[in-house]
Amino acid sequence: MKPINPMTDQTTYSNTLDPELLALLRCPLTHSKLRQEGDYLVAEVGGLAYPVRDGIPVMLIEEAKLPDGVGSVEELKAKLGTGKL
């Protein structure tokens, strides 16, 4: 069996998460459930979209796409009335 060389071997990953894993994950800002939309996990509350890269969810607020019409995380917190989050 040939050893895997991470520098030359190209592995493709599916960005579709296992439903059991998706059921466990929550938005780190709003603590709401997430739904998968393509290469993103979108929070049911607030609409932050967390990327899935190489099959791994990136659950960092700084990496999330803001919903349309929102310019910053602070603005989103104000809209949600959750300034303490």
Q: What is the pTM of this model?
A: 0.80
| Res. 84 pLDDT band, cuts 50 70 90 | low
Q: Is the distance from CB of 29 to CB of 48 less than 8 angstroms?
A: yes
Q: Is the dihedral of CA 59, 84, 46, 79 positive or negative?
A: negative
6 — pLDDT class (breaks 50, 70, 90): low
- Cα 8 to Cα 4: distance, rounded to the nearest angstrom: 8
Predicted pLDDT at 2: 58
pLDDT digits (tens, 9 = 90+) for 12-49: 668 899 999 999 999 999 999 999 999 999 999 999 99
